[in-house]
Structure 1
Amino acid sequence: MSTQDKLIQMVIAIALFFGVMAVILLLTSRLRTRTGERVQAVAFLGPALFLISVGLLYPAGMTVYQSLFGAATFDPPFVGLDNYKELFTNSQQLTVLRNTLLWVILTPLVSTGIGLVYAVLVDRSRFEKAAKALLFLPMAISMVGASIIWKFVYDYKSGESTQLGLLNQILVWLHLDTFNFLLNSPWNTLFLIVILVWIQAGFAMTILSASIKAIPDDIIEAARLDGVGGWKMFRHITVPSIRPSLIVVVTTITIATLKVFDIVQTATGGNFDTSVLAYEFYRQNFVAGNQGLSTAIAVVIFLLVVPIVIYNIRQMRKLESR
């Protein structure tokens, strides 16, 4: 499809949108009663609800439905909850769940912690801009690019005095035994987590630094006059003041972590017990051809995200009601 054809399609889509809006306004403009207002609201919400149903609710329902069937490509048998049973009883799948749990717990906490401490330390310092740019730079690198960089850092050559990997070369300089960082489980999962932390810490620092600068100077000055400083200032003034931003950062990084795929695929290919739910979904669906188990994994990922979103919404409502 040429660029001209795409441009024509875009113009047609925009014209259809404004056309539908014009028709709705024309049909409902004379409705002045309370019932008319309701009809007008339904008329405007109808297209949006229809698109949400077609683009979100229907695919979600079909995913749940397909997770109840077996692995056959054509006419798969109905297996009920067997796919979920396998997911929570099979030793390989339990390893995947364990790895996912490690990712979800460690990555948001460590990334947010590093970003918060870094933002506080460099705030209003002479080298603040350069320091922030240094930590933010990994955000400009794709997941695949970052994985390749760290794969070189972790590189291991058995029995050689000169190592390509930076970490193993440091071990050689210290006269210590070299170590295969990406082979030994469960440590290899922790070393993969380092890659995402390296990327996400810059995001956390940027958001939290902006929140710290938004704290009113009057509050800080009043705290200093009361003799509050150092750790007490951080604990009782800084953290409570930026709590909404902390919730947003932790939530965003957690959801991104549940979808992590690129790092595992690039660094280990899911081997050596490093697979996570997102990668296992890909492997079961596109490699093993087990659509039933893959859709069950997708449902589990969705169910893991829902409580996080609900908690985030509740916290935001509490803050708005104050």
Structure 2
Amino acid sequence: MIAQILSATQTVILGVAACVIYFWGTNWVLDRLLGGANASVAHESRRAAIRPWVFLAPALFFLSLYLIYPVFATLWLSFFDAAGTEFVGFSNFLWALGDPNFQQSVFNNLLWLIVVPSCATAFGLVIAVMADKLWWGNIAKSLIFMPMAISFIGASVIWKFVYDYRSGDSEQIGILNAVIQGLGFEPQVWIQIPFWNNFFLMAILVWIQTGFAMVILSAALRGIPEETLEAARIDGANDVQIFFNIMVPQIFPTILVVWTTITILVLKVFDIVLAMTNGQWDTQVLANLMFDWMVRGVDFGRSSTIALVIMIAVLPIMIWNIRQANQEEGTR
């Protein structure tokens, strides 16, 4: 533990020192090349134009190295065989269209896309509205937001205990089976029930993301003018009418941003499925299938093809989300 702390401290110190040296060094080079305090107006304007790009250069380099280059490398590998040496054209894409596991993964991803963003956004909105009416609302919000601080793997471990099943006459330690048994029913192996086990896995991500939706939507609700709500109450509107006819329409752009943000996360879901079922019992999703072909199947062509499918699915939603957020920011 102490060694890890010392290593992390050393890394931070070296990183800060490198940034200071780079900042000082690039300024010194610019002053040398384009003059210092006595530089002409033309040199001064050039130096001002170059300096931001010099400071951005490391970030652009690492962005290109770890984001842009992998995209083109993945596209290139999708046209090659398992070893990435022999060109096979569109064979990997034709395989994907006819592969039952790929089709099952697409179906499961669609289920996740329908259920998780809708439930997390709806629960977050309802909780945000209700918590504002309670004196202990901030405490409730804090408790609901806490799962956001847990990693997906950590959350999966917690929920494994919720769904845990013990065979025979063993005492059920899983909360869900303990409740079921207490009500007089037979305990079940929940994560092995085909089709429905997907919903049990989705509940984990809904549990995590509801806090995110609640915080964003709670902030948006505070932006609704109080005069509008008072006028509606004077006109005889009840709380349900105010919620659906005033609150929801006024924060609808924010609701869409929250929904699409969770949608992007859902398209890349991997950790929960890997930790809970490893894709067994018809719970496979695209990211998990890509991992299987890349690490276990050692097929760079097919894994790259699946990665491209995920990227193509995420890209339009991400672009729309950014535009929507920028438009909302511009109207404030």
Give the TM-score normalised by structure 2: 0.84
Q: How many angstroms apart in 1 are the aligned matches of 2:232 and 2:34? A: 57
Closer/same/farther in 2, CA of residues 5 and 110 from structure 1, 3 Å limit = closer
Decide whether the 8 Å contact of 1:285 with 1:291 is kept in 2. Answer: yes
Residue type of the partner of 1:95?
Q
Q: CA deviation at 1:11?
A: 1.0
Whether 2:26 is the aligned partner of 1:20: answer yes
RMSD (Å) for aligned C-alpha atoms: 2.8
Structure 1 Cα separation of the partners of residues 300 and 40 of structure 2 = 50
1:102 aligns with 111
**Matched residue, 1:139:** 148
Give the AA of the match of 1:57: I
User: Does residue 303 of structure 1 match 2:309?
Assistant: no
Q: AA paired with 1:67? A: S
Residue 214 of structure 1 and its aligned partner are, at CA, apart by 2.7
Q: Which residue of structure 2 lines up, in the alignment, with residue 175 of structure 1?
A: 184
Tell me whether 19-28 or 89-98 shows the greater mean CA deviation.
Answer: 19-28
| TM-score where L is the length of structure 1 | 0.87
How far 1:114 moved relative to its partner? Answer: 0.6
Q: Kindly provide the amino acid, as one letter, of the partner of residue 188 in structure 1.
A: N
Percentage identity across paired residues of the two chains: 41
Inter-CA distance 23–215: structure 2 relative to 1 (3 Å threshold)? farther
Are the structure 2 counterparts of residues 305 and 32 from structure 1 closer, same or farther at C-alpha, using a change threshold of 3 Å? farther
Select the residue among 74, 85, 93 that pairs with 2:94. Answer: 85
Moved more, 7-16 or 36-45: 36-45
Could you say which residue in structure 1 is the equivalent of 2:72? 61
Match of 1:281 in 2: 290
Does structure 1 conserve the Cα–Cα contact (< 8 Å) formed by 2:112 and 2:202? Answer: yes
CA deviation after TM superposition for structure 1 residue 159, in Å: 4.5
Quick check: 2:264–2:318 contact (8 Å CA) kept in 1? Answer: no
Q: Paired residue for 1:70, among 66, 70, 81?
A: 81
Specify whether residues 54 and 166 from structure 1 end up closer, same or farther in structure 2 by C-alpha distance, changes over 3 A only.
Answer: closer
CA contact (8 A) 2:221 2:247 kept: yes
Equivalent residue for 2:228?
219
Distance 1:26 1:320, change over 3 A: farther
Instruction: Using the TM superposition, give the Cα deviation of residue 42 of structure 1 relative to its aligned residue in structure 2, in angstroms.
Output: 6.5
Q: Deviations over 1:97-136 (max 9, x none)?
A: 1111111221111111111111111213122122212322
Which deviates the most, 151-160 or 198-207?
151-160
Matched residues in 2 for 1:295 and 1:25: separation?
46
Check whether the contact 1:64–1:296 (CA below 8 A) recurs between aligned residues: yes
Q: How far apart, in 1, do the equivalents of 2:34 and 2:225 lie? A: 47
Change beyond 3 A, Cα 1:214–1:79: same
Q: CA deviation at 1:181?
A: 0.8
AA in 1 matched with 2:71: A
2:163 corresponds to which residue? 154
Q: Per-residue deviation at 1:182?
A: 0.8
AA in 1 matched with 2:262 = I
CA shift digits 1:136-158 (9 cap, x unpaired): 22223222222112112112234
Q: What's the offset of the Cα at 1:298?
A: 1.4
Q: Secondary structure at the match of 1:182?
A: helix
What one-letter code is carried by the residue in structure 2 that aligns with 1:224? R
Distance 1:31 1:262, change over 3 A: farther
Contact 1:24–1:44 (Cα < 8 Å) also in 2: no
Aligned-pair distance for 1:218? 2.2
Report whether the alignment pairs 1:189 with 2:195.
Answer: no
Aligned equivalents of 1:271 and 1:131: distance in 2? 36
Structure 2: runs of 5+ lacking an equivalent: none
When residues 56 and 171 of structure 1 are mapped into structure 2, their CA distance, relative to the original with a 3 A threshold, is: closer
